[in-house]
Amino acid sequence: MGFSSALQSRAAHEALIVRQDAELRLMETMKRSIQMKAKCDKEYAISLTAVAQQGLKIDRADEMQGSLISKSWRSYMDELDHQAKQFKFNAEQLEVVCDKLTHLSQDKRKARKAYQEEHAKIAARLNHLTDEVVRKKSEYQKHLEGYKALRTRFEENYIKAPSRSGRKLDDVRDKYQKACRKLHLTHNEYVLSITEAIEVEKDFRNVLLPGLLEHQQSVQESFILLWRNILQEAAQYGDLTADKYKEIQKRIDTVIGSINPTEEYGEFTEKYKTSPTTPLLFQFDETLIQDIPGKLQSSTLTVDNLTVDWLRNRLQELEGAVRDCQEKQMKMIEHVNGGSPVANGSIISNGSNTSNGIQSNKDSLCRQSKDLNALRCQEKQKQKLVDMIKCALNEVGCEELPSGCDDDLTLEQNFIENGYNNEQQQRSNSTSSPGLGIMNELMRRGGVLTLLRGRGRHFKRKSTPQPATPMTRSRQGRFNKLQPRSQSLGSLSISLSTNRPLYEEEWFHGVLPREEVVRLLNNDGDFLVRETIRNEESQIVLSVCWNGHKHFIVQTTGEGNFRFEGPPFASIQELIMHQYHSELPVTVKSGAILRRPVCRERWELSNDDVVLLERIGRGNFGDVYKAKLKSTKLDVAVKTCRMTLPDEQKRKFLQEGRILKQYDHPNIVKLIGICVQKQPIMIVMELVLGGSLLTYLRKNSNGLTTRQQMGMCRDAAAGMRYLESKNCIHRDLAARNCLVDLEHSVKISDFGMSREEEEYIVSDGMKQIPVKWTAPEALNFGKYTSLCDVWSYGILMWEIFSKGDTPYSGMTNSRARERIDTGYRMPTPKSTPEEMYRLMLQCWAADAESRPHFDEIYNVVDALILRLDNSH
């Protein structure tokens, strides 16, 4: 079925015109896309050329002389360059295709115009005759009525005239005859026009219109043929499977396949062939012990009361290492001989012991052999140390050990200092060792506090009372909160115990995240204690500012005591007080000394002070409750953080509290405190009884006045003006994130996405972005400024005046985004003042710099409200 028989109706003609318009638009779309592809291919060609040039920039290329892999790489890069040239050529050909598509589009427009003109011409002839028939019929009716009237008049006068003559009768007769003549002429013209119209209509329907449509179908199909050829040409120049690309890839495969591992280093080996290296000599430097009295001898182990336990422990470690090496060797030999694969440290560290598709069996066997040799060397090395230690212990015996460094007080004191940080060096084999006399003397003279463990006896160093200098008085004053009630500040020799739980200590900050802790520790020596959760296990951490920030996990002994590198204590409080008063580093490596405890800030509340009453909502991180503070009986709102959330989410949760704690404005929801002493983490805020602004708008849509709506806009502008002055970007301003009190006053809330920066660039993707409230530059480039909040404020105004409607209703996020980019803006809600809608449009300016700042917005809204009040 063709055009000539199927498309003769007026509706079909109009549909054909619409189809031609759609085809023209499709051509334009194709042209833009092909132009974009040509541009991308050109850019890719440039990038590929840069890759090839970069790949050929080999530093000190002479050092790779004779290398097959270097030669293959150069050929590979040359082929990439050829590939780039091919891409560039194809891109240029695509531009030619675009030109052809442009000419085709122009010709199609001309053909469309010619068809419309011809169709209008033949339709006009038929329309003209149709009108003419109607006109002739109208004239016919007119003359027929005149004729009938004159004939009646003539008949009346003829009957009345006695002599059938007279002037009056003659006049009537003449008029009657003229009317009769006109009637007959009109009758003939009407008949002729009908006859002509019948013929013209027949020709229009059977000859002219079918001929025009048949011609148009031929023209359309010829365009489609040309169009298809152009698309085939475009596809041809975008075909990556073309022979030219295949040839390039084939040459690349050939040069890479020419790499022969056995020939790669032939020329290199011949050029740098040398004699075997001279063995390195390791000798004991005897100058080290020239000035040390005692029995230290070069290259000889010293066994005395200071070293025997260390040697025994070292011997035990080495013997265990030897056994491990032997077991690994046995497992590896079993595997090589056909046993089941066994995961061992050597194989895991050096790669898989089975073929991974790249290594050959030969490579795998070489690797296993290498690993086995490495294990044998490790066993031999450690066995040598085992034999050496055993020999030294056997020579001295274990019953009576000589004391170490009897005549050197400095060395003894160094031993005490170092032994404090290593429990294994605190052991002494005999309570009768002469070395203990030196230690007791040190303790009598007020040496540093330490704890030495001997066989069956414990020795505790005591610090002698020191004069109360201004510095010590200052330290004692700062640490007064740390001091247990049963202990005096001047002595550590008595029992240290307290009945208070750890979370009641002022310097314990609960599960406060590390990022928040770092903000509190500013000077060297500042410290606090906190709790962290690792692998669902709670750990207590000491955080110290010392050349940066250091975090020490409190170690738990088998007896349930607590320690760092020094002696254990029955409670964490005692451990922390010991580190503070002794002024010893927490660990030797860190050197960190505790100087000033950082107590909880006023906004860090205790979890036990908050009584949750009822759930009133749900947030991104957990539930929202109405609650009461025990201390003040104040009703509050509490946001909770689910305990199962990862640390990153918990940090984001607390970010809102960190931002809010420094703000004080009637249109910003107030922070009362943060509970981080234990799980769950909670943010305590003022309770705004009206709830969410969005819910309020929808529930009270019938009762809201224009004055109240404008007041809500002014409140929001006042809050955002305050945030803008603090360089705070909210990033999620919307009616759902605002609260309203019982007096219709609006407060900005939900600072979970906020940032305290003049400009913020999103680097973690655009997940959970409120697209319909977000400015185009933020969606397209991830760039946020306060002017992005201005765009969101415009959406908030629209929500207020639409009484809670959804922006861009009926559109998906992607569709709304497309419409906005093309200049679409939402129409004004019903009953919105013209000035307020004009302000919305200013907030939605595509150019961010053209939008008003919040100070200007506030002044405009305030002035409009004032004018409204005065008019009433």
pLDDT, one tens digit per residue, over 702-714 is: 889 999 999 999 9
Highest mean pLDDT among 154-158, 238-242, 732-736: 732-736
Residues marked as catalytic: 732
**Other beta carbons less than 10 A from residue 246's beta carbon:** 11
771-816 pLDDT, tens digit each = 999 999 988 888 888 899 999 999 999 999 999 999 999 999 999 9
> Across residues 99-107, what is the average pLDDT?
92
Of the two residues 106 and 240, the one the predictor is more confident about is 106
Pick the CATH number of 604-686 from 3.30.70.100, 3.40.50.300, 2.40.50.220, 3.30.200.20: 3.30.200.20
Two tokens, residue 571: 């409670």
**3-state SS class at 843:** helix
Lowest mean pLDDT among 173-187, 209-223, 531-545: 531-545
pLDDT of residue 798: 97
> From CA 784, how far away is CA 760, in angstroms rounded?
5
What is the residue type of 854? Answer: F
Tokens linked to 115:
């068809």
Taking CA atoms, 861 is separated from 526, 704, 715, 717, 837, in Å, by: 49, 17, 10, 8, 11
Answer whether 15-236 and 470-488+500-596 agree in fold: no
pLDDT of 352 strictly over 60? no
27 Cβ contact list (under 8 Å, min separation 6): 101, 104, 105, 108, 227
Closest residue by Cα to residue 230 from 99, 108, 112: 99
Taking the C-alpha atoms of residue 158 and residue 166, their distance in angstroms, rounded to an integer, is 10
Strands 458-460 and 746-748: unpaired
Count, residues in the chain: 872
Winning range, highest mean pLDDT, from 53-57, 181-185, 328-332, 344-348? 181-185
| pLDDT in the model for residue 606 | 80
- Res 524: pLDDT: 93
Q: Is 588:565 a contact under the CB 8 Å cutoff? A: yes
Question: Residue 567, class by beta-carbon neighbours within 10 Å (0-12 exposed, 13-18 middle, 19+ buried)?
Answer: buried
Enumerate the known binding-site residues for ATP. Answer: 616-624, 639
Angle at the Cα of 165 (from 162 to 168), degrees rounded to 5? 105
% of the chain residues with pLDDT over 90: 28
Q: Are 377 and 328 in contact, with CB atoms under 8 Å apart?
A: no
188 Ramachandran zone, left/alpha/beta (phi>0; psi -120 to 50) = alpha
* CB proximity list for 629: less than 8 A, separation 6 or greater: 605, 609, 610, 611, 636, 672, 684
The answer to whether the beta carbons of residues 270 and 65 sit under 8 Å apart is no
> Which stretches of 598-705 are assigned E, i.e. beta strand?
604-605, 610-618, 623-629, 635-640, 671-675, 682-686
> What is the per-residue pLDDT across 67-81, written as a single tens digit (0 to 9) for each?
888 888 888 889 899
Asked if 451 contacts 459 with a C-beta cutoff of 8 angstroms, the reply is yes
User: Cα(70)–Cα(58) distance, rounded to whole angstroms?
Assistant: 9
Per DSSP bridges, beta strands 682-686 and 635-640 are antiparallel
The least confident of 197-211, 562-576, 818-832 is 197-211
The predicted pLDDT at position 472 comes to: 40
CATH of region 15-236, choose from 1.10.10.60, 1.20.1270.60, 1.10.150.120, 3.90.1150.10: 1.20.1270.60
CA–CA dist 690, 669 (Å, integer): 13
Three-class DSSP category at 686: strand
R_g over Cα of the chain: 49
Cα dihedral 346, 349, 355, 361 sign: negative
> Which pLDDT does position 685 carry in this prediction?
87
CB neighbours (10 Å) of residue 389?
18
According to the CATH classification, is domain 693-871 in 1.10.510.10?
yes
Average pLDDT of the segment spanning 637-658:
75
Query: DSSP string of 561-616?
Result: -EESSS--BSSHHHHHHHHHHH---SSTTT-----EE-PPPTTEE-GGGEEEEEEE
Per mean pLDDT, which range of 287-296, 578-587, 677-686, 824-833 is the poorest?
287-296
pLDDT band at 845 (very low <50, low <70, confident <90, very high): very high
Domain boundaries 470-488+500-596, CATH class: alpha beta
The CA distance from 682 to 676, in Å, is 7
- Cβ pair 33, 107 in contact under 8 A: no
Delimit the domains of the chain by residue range.
Answer: 15-236, 300-396, 409-460, 470-488+500-596, 604-686, 693-871
* Predicted pLDDT of residue 856: 95
Average pLDDT (559-573) is 90
- Which pLDDT score is estimated for 579? 92
710, 864 contact by CB (below 8 A): yes
Measured in whole angstroms, how far is the alpha carbon of residue 770 from the centre of its chain? 14
pLDDT-derived band of residue 397, with 50, 70 and 90 as boundaries? very low
Instruction: Provide DSSP, 77-93.
Output: HHHHHHHHHHHHHHHHH
As a three-state string, the secondary structure of 346-390 is: HHHHHCCCCCCCCCCHHHHHHHHHHHHHHHHHHHHHHHHHHHHHH
Pick out the residues of the known binding site. 616-624, 639
Contact at 8 Å (CB) between 450 and 415?
no
The residue type of 828 is T
pLDDT band at 478 (very low <50, low <70, confident <90, very high): very low
Mean per-residue pLDDT over the chain, rounded: 78
Instruction: Lowest mean pLDDT of 23-27, 466-470, 829-833, 844-848, name the range.
Output: 466-470
Name the least confident of 460-464, 512-516, 605-609: 460-464
In this prediction, residue 403 carries a pLDDT of 35
